[in-house]
């Protein structure tokens, strides 16, 4: 089932939470929803899941409008809200059974689905404990299990890996990637490496508006503008190198990282001319080029550029 | 299975898991038993094979206990955020409200079931009017339904359980006492209208063995209004 969001808006009183947001997510795609705190991520997700009313525009799921057929669409959506609220006094099994019944799973299938979820989310040793007794990581798994219990075509996960240890994070990411092959997944986070590791596409939202939309690579290319190279040149005087690098065609700026060991950082126009010129220069002057590392623009920098204004 | 029943079952189980149900049972049976059989104008003092004194005690104890039962129903879900999980499942706001209402009413019915030895004992002592007793029990259930829906509404407007408890008690107090007291201050149509609004008169006639359609309409109106308002304040999240 595809999700199409058309000119979605929402305001709380005078405060605008989401303003004219439009995007599309296709089946088999994992969309990473990024943005600083209070950017409107959770509000958008709450509107998609039908928890809060849609201010303006509409959300179409499989061609059906959430505004008009929201009740019917709820069955196709699995939702893990922010902070993962759960009934603490209930044992894990009872809780999952309750969720399964609410989602209208026929009684004959409930036991099979329960076993499957317990296995997939590795809850076997904890299944009879009360949710309140579980550690944060296990509670998060219960949250994921309840979202997936009815095998929904759409998964909306609001910060699914908060509070997990690194091993659990890797497991959950693996699980989400597997799920993402056949389902439509939207996950929000502000852990940037997570998006790169899990998502096919990234959407950055700031102050209720979309500021970037694309794959991690395309965002990088967009943001890059120039090539950053780290070089190490041996058998040369620092002042000579400084002067020569500045005069090199294609180089826009250059600075010493550590002059004594011969490390420099140079910025150049993209296209790789500077790299060839640098090599020729070293050959000419009989300097030894021992390192030439292209530095990638980090997602963090892109994020900061787009959301700090 | 209907979502209403799924929610009601979970809610009922949580009353028993959290000991609330047991505390209610002990307190209610303790109070009503004490004042029906042992103290004040108890059955032996009155000297009639009637459960009138039990109904009078239950009338007051339920008035205090029901807000204590209903206060957490929606307020707690709001506070912990589980309401978001519940309402994004395949259920409507109305079904959630109905499920919780049903659970509370079922719990009260179970508690009242435990007082069945009272009329049985009475049958050994004399010849009670079972029709009247049946009407009295029906009256208690109807009264509970009214107070439960008021409590549910009070619980839906806040995330603080104490506020929900006090609000429910405050609203119920009008039906329980204040309208009755006010009606004697007014004469003519105003007095009659205010008198109709008081629960006391309706309950007393039911406890005497008369269930009038006017009584039924009165209670049903309160129940429906309470549930509707609770549903409204749940769906208020949809408005800006």
- Residue where the block lists tokens 């998609």: A48
Judged by a CB distance cut-off of 8 A, whether residue A16 touches chain B is: no
Q: At A3, list the tokens.
A: 């999700």
Decide if pLDDT at B147 tops 80. yes
Cα separation of A278 and A246, whole Å? 11
The mean per-residue pLDDT over the stretch B27-41 comes to 87
> What averages of pLDDT result for each successive group of 10 residues across chain A (309 residues)?
89 87 90 86 90 89 87 90 90 93 90 90 88 89 91 90 81 84 87 82 88 81 72 84 82 80 81 81 88 77 75
Closest residue by Cα to residue A5 from A53, A78, A66: A66
Q: At A224, list the tokens.
A: 């890059």
Percentage of chain B exceeding pLDDT 70 = 99
Number of Cβ within a 10 Å radius of residue A309 = 7
Integer CA distances (angstroms), A3 to A65, A67, A77, A284, in order: 10, 13, 11, 59
For residue A225, the model assigns a pLDDT of: 65
Higher pLDDT, B45 or B109: B109
This model of the complex carries an ipTM of 0.88
Q: At A18, list the tokens.
A: 């989401």
Look up the CATH number of domain A225-304. 3.30.70.100
The mean per-residue pLDDT over the stretch B226-231 comes to 95
Whether the Cβ atoms of residue A213 and residue A58 lie closer than 8 Å to each other: no
Whether the Cβ atoms of residue B7 and residue B77 lie closer than 8 Å to each other: no
DSSP one-letter code for A62: T
> What sign does the dihedral B204-B210-B214-B218 (CA atoms) show?
positive
| B6 membership: H or E segment, kind and range | helix B3-17
**Contact (CB<8Å) B90/A74:** yes
Cα separation of A210 and A21, whole Å? 6
Which residues on A lie below 8 Å from B91 (Cβ)?
Answer: 74, 102
Range of the domain at B184: 3-238
Using DSSP's 3-state secondary structure scheme, residue A172 falls into helix
Half-sphere exposure of B138 (CA within 13 A, CB side): 17
Cα separation of B38 and B29, whole Å? 13
Number of Cβ within a 10 Å radius of residue B58 = 28
Whether the Cβ atoms of residue A32 and residue A157 lie closer than 8 Å to each other: no
Superfamily of domain A3-214, CATH level 4: P-loop containing nucleotide triphosphate hydrolases (3.40.50.300)
Cα separation of A180 and A160, whole Å? 14
Q: Return all residues near A165 (Cβ < 8 A) that are at least 6 apart.
A: A137
Using DSSP's 3-state secondary structure scheme, residue A254 falls into strand
For residue B126, the model assigns a pLDDT of: 85
What's the pLDDT tens digit per position in B37-88?
888 777 787 777 788 889 989 999 999 999 999 999 999 999 999 999 999 9
Residue B3: which of A11, A52, A102 has the nearest Cβ?
Answer: A102
Closest residue by Cα to residue A92 from A128, A38, A140, A141: A128
Q: What angle do CA A285, A288, A292 make, to 5 degrees?
A: 115
Residue B87: which of A51, A103, A146 has the nearest Cβ?
Answer: A51
Decide if pLDDT at B125 tops 90. no
**Contact (CB<8Å) B6/A101:** yes
Cα separation of A212 and A232, whole Å? 35
Tally of structural domains, chain B: 1
**Coarse DSSP helix, strand, coil percentages of chain B, rounded to the nearest 5 percent:** 80, 0, 20
* Residue-range domain boundaries for chain A: 3-214, 225-304
Q: At A43, list the tokens.
A: 């509000």
For residue A147, the model assigns a pLDDT of: 92
Using DSSP's 3-state secondary structure scheme, residue A290 falls into strand
State which residue of chain A sits closest to B17, comparing Cα positions. Answer: A89
**Contact (CB<8Å) A75/B84:** no
What's the pLDDT tens digit per position in A31-62?
998 888 888 888 999 999 989 888 888 999 98
């Amino acid at each position: 089932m595809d999700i199409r969001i058309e000119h979605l808006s929402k305001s709380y009183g005078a405060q605008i939470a989401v303003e004219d947001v439009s995007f599309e997510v296709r089946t088999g795609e994992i969309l990473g929803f990024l943005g600083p705190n209070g950017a409107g991520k959770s509000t958008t997700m709450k509107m998609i899941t039908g928890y809060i009313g849609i201010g303006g525009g509409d959300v179409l799921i499989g061609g059906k409008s959430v505004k008009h057929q929201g009740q019917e669409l709820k069955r196709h959506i699995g939702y893990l809200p922010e902070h993962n609220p759960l009934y603490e006094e209930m044992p894990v099994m009872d809780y999952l059974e309750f969720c399964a019944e609410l989602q209208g799973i026929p009684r004959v299938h409930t036991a099979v689905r329960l076993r499957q979820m317990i296995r997939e989310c590795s809850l076997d040793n904890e299944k009879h404990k009360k949710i309140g007794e579980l550690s944060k990581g296990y509670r998060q798994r219960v949250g994921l299990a309840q979202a997936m219990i009815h095998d929904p075509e759409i998964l909306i996960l609001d910060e699914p890996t908060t509070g997990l240890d690194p091993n659990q994070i890797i497991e959950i990411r693996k699980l989400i990637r597997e799920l993402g092959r056949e389902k439509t997944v939207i996950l929000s986070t502000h852990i940037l490496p997570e998006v790169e590791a899990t998502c096919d596409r990234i959407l950055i939202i700031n102050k209720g508006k979309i500021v970037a939309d694309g794959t991690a690579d395309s965002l990088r290319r967009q943001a890059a503008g120039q090539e950053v190279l780290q070089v190490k040149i041996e058998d040369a005087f620092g002042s000579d190198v400084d002067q020569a690098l500045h005069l090199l065609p294609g180089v826009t700026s250059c600075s010493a990282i550590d002059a004594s060991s011969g490390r420099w950082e140079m910025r150049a126009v993209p296209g790789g001319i500077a790299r060839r010129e640098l090599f020729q220069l070293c050959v000419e002057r009989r300097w030894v080029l021992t390192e030439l590392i292209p530095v990638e623009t980090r997602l963090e920098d892109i994020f900061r550029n787009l959301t700090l204004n | 299975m209907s979502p209403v029943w799924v929610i009601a079952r979970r809610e009922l189980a949580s009353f028993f898991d959290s000991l609330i149900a047991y505390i209610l049972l002990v307190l209610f049976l303790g109070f009503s038993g004490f004042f029906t059989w042992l103290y004040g104008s108890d059955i032996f003092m009155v000297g009639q094979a009637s459960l009138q004194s039990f109904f009078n005690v239950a009338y007051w104890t339920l008035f205090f206990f029901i807000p204590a039962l209903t206060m957490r129903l929606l307020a707690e879900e709001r506070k912990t955020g589980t309401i978001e999980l519940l309402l994004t499942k395949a259920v409507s706001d109305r079904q959630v409200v109905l499920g919780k209402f049903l659970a509370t009413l079922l719990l009260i019915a179970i508690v009242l079931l435990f007082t069945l030895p009272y009329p049985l004992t009475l049958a050994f002592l004399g010849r009670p009017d079972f029709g009247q007793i049946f009407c009295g029990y029906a009256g208690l259930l109807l009264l509970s339904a009214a107070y439960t829906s008021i409590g549910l509404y009070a619980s839906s407007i806040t995330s603080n359980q104490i506020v929900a408890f006090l609000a429910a008690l405050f609203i119920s107090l009008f039906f329980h006492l204040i309208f009755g007291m006010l009606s004697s201050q007014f004469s003519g149509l105003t007095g009659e209208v205010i008198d109709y609004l008081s629960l006391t008169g309706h309950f007393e006639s039911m406890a005497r063995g008369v269930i009038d359609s006017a009584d039924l309409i009165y209670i049903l109106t309160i129940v429906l209004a309470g549930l509707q308002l609770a549903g409204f304040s749940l769906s208020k999240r949809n408005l800006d």
